Amino acid sequence: MPDLKGQEETEKAASREEPKFSVWQLDDNNNEFLVRGGLSEDEALELVREFEGRGHRQAYWVKPGSGLII
């Protein structure tokens, strides 16, 4: 029988170590806004592609870090 508890703990530890990224938006008045933080790089890039695919005039980009000020 596989050790699910050990596997879960390993996955949690790996996710804590994984760098986080945030998605930002630049609106028509040159204001920058955090769209979403705490994402993996792949999730952040996918979100940018999703917003850009909608045809909005705003610019979207990915920054390293969660985007949250603690």
- The token pair at 41 is 């790089």
CA atoms within 13 A on the CB side of 37: 10
β-partners of residue 39 are 21
Nearest Cα neighbor of 34 from 2, 1, 66 is: 66
pLDDT digits (tens, 9 = 90+) for 10-33: 556 555 567 899 999 999 899 999
User: Strand (E) positions, the chain?
Assistant: 21-26, 32-39, 59-64
What is the reported pLDDT for 6? 64
pTM of the prediction? 0.69
Mean pLDDT of 40-53: 95
- The token pair at 15 is 């996710």
Rounded Cα–Cα distance for residues 24 and 32 (Å): 7
